Amino acid sequence: EAQVTQNPRYLITVTGKKLTVTCSQNMNHEYMSWYRQDPGLGLRQIYYSMNVEVTDKGDVPEGYKVSRKEKRNFPLILESPSPNQTSLYFCASSLRTGNEKLFFGSGTQLSVL
Amino acid sequence: GQQVMQIPQYQHVQEGEDFTTYCNSSTTLSNIQWYKQRPGGHPVFLIQLVKSGEVKKQKRLTFQFGEAKKNSSLHITATQTTDVGTYFCAATYQLIWGAGTKLIIKP
């Protein structure tokens, strides 16, 4: 089944403790991206990747890192999480560009205490 | 930077009534996509509009792209409980998202 898999689904952590949210897609998509969703703000793009070893900042990249060492995986790293990073995070992928149909993961609800 | 304004933020309707959400931009958009997010779920792609004045239908859903490619709308005829969720528009190459319109069915 074609899908985008995110883990974990829920995560509670404390300020400053490094964490990684994993994202994997099995559709051989070139484009992958991370979004955060906050009430009343819709989805805001954090980082995106057009292909392996190619990443770029989105609208709200501060405090986040990403890597794209393999085509299928696009982890989101929070080196030193802060409470303002408490949010719902979505990974998404599309065949070639962000201008095409996006497939989303199920989301990760992160709480930073 | 470029923004897409989506209104209203919420819409309460009785089941069977119609629902409309609008997206507006001050600049010309290359295309626009619409997504639906059920409560507790993730966004799911509905449709993409590319041409000026384009109108597309999916059963009870009608999508329009303005002549100037600066606005778009999603209209649902005779809402059903399965329509509940938040509807988002997303525009341009890097997908600038509207804030969403939450459709609530009154009990």
| Partner B contacted by A109 (CB < 8 A) | no
Task: Check pLDDT > 80 for residue A98.
Answer: no
Using CA atoms, how far apart are residues B97 and B90, in angstroms rounded to an integer? 4
Q: How many CB atoms lie within 10 A of CB B48?
A: 17
**Mutate: best of A43, A56, A91, A97, partner B, most B CBs <10 A:** A43
Would you list the DSSP string of B18-80? -EEEEEEESS--S-EEEEEE-TTS-EEEEEEE-STT-EEEETTEEEEE-TTSSEEEEEESS--
Please list every residue in chain B whose beta carbon sits closer than 8 Å to the beta carbon of residue A91.
Answer: none
Contact call for B48 and A101, based on CB within 8 A? yes
Please tell me whether the peptide bond between B39 and the residue prior to it is cis, using omega within 30 degrees of 0. Answer: no
- Sequence length of chain A is 113
| Partner A contacted by B104 (CB < 8 A) | no
Task: Check pLDDT > 90 for residue A99.
Answer: no
CA-CA-CA-CA dihedral for A55, A56, A57, A62, to nearest 10: 40
Are the beta carbons of B15 and B8 closer than 8 angstroms?
Answer: no
Q: Which residue has the higher pLDDT, A41 or A29?
A: A29
Cβ-based burial of B84 (10 A; exposed 0-12, middle 13-18, buried ≥19): middle
C-alpha dist (Å) from residue A57 to A33, A51, B11, B69: 10, 14, 34, 26
* pLDDT tens-digit map of A13-36: 999 999 999 999 999 999 999 999
Cα angle: A33, vertex A10, A26; to 5 degrees: 40
| Partner B contacted by A39 (CB < 8 A) | no
Please list every residue in chain A whose beta carbon sits closer than 8 Å to the beta carbon of residue B93.
Answer: 97-99
The Cα of B15 is separated from the nearest Cα of chain A by a number of Å equal to 24
**pLDDT for residue B9:** 94
* pLDDT tens-digit map of B57-105: 999 999 999 999 999 999 999 999 999 999 999 986 667 899 999 999 9
Banded pLDDT at B1 (limits 50, 70, 90): low
The average pLDDT across B7-25 equals: 96
The B residues from 61 to 100 touching A (CB cutoff 8 Å) are 88, 90, 92-95, 97-100
Task: Check pLDDT > 90 for residue B3.
Answer: no
Using CA atoms, how far apart are residues A101 and A95, in angstroms rounded to an integer? 8
**pLDDT for residue A40:** 81
Contact call for A40 and B9, based on CB within 8 A? yes
Element (H, E) at A100: none
**pLDDT for residue A2:** 84
Banded pLDDT at A41 (limits 50, 70, 90): confident
* pLDDT tens-digit map of A60-94: 999 999 999 999 999 999 999 999 999 999 999 99
Q: Give strand pairing partners of A15.
A: none
- The residues, ordered by sequence, that sit 6+ positions from B105 with a Cβ below 8 Å of its Cβ are B12, B13, B14, B15, B79, B81, B83, B84
Banded pLDDT at A4 (limits 50, 70, 90): very high
Q: Mean pLDDT, chain B, as a whole number? A: 93
The average pLDDT across A53-58 equals: 95
Using CA atoms, how far apart are residues A20 and A71, in angstroms rounded to an integer? 18
Task: For residue B105, give the nearest of B58, B38, B47 by alpha carbon.
Answer: B38
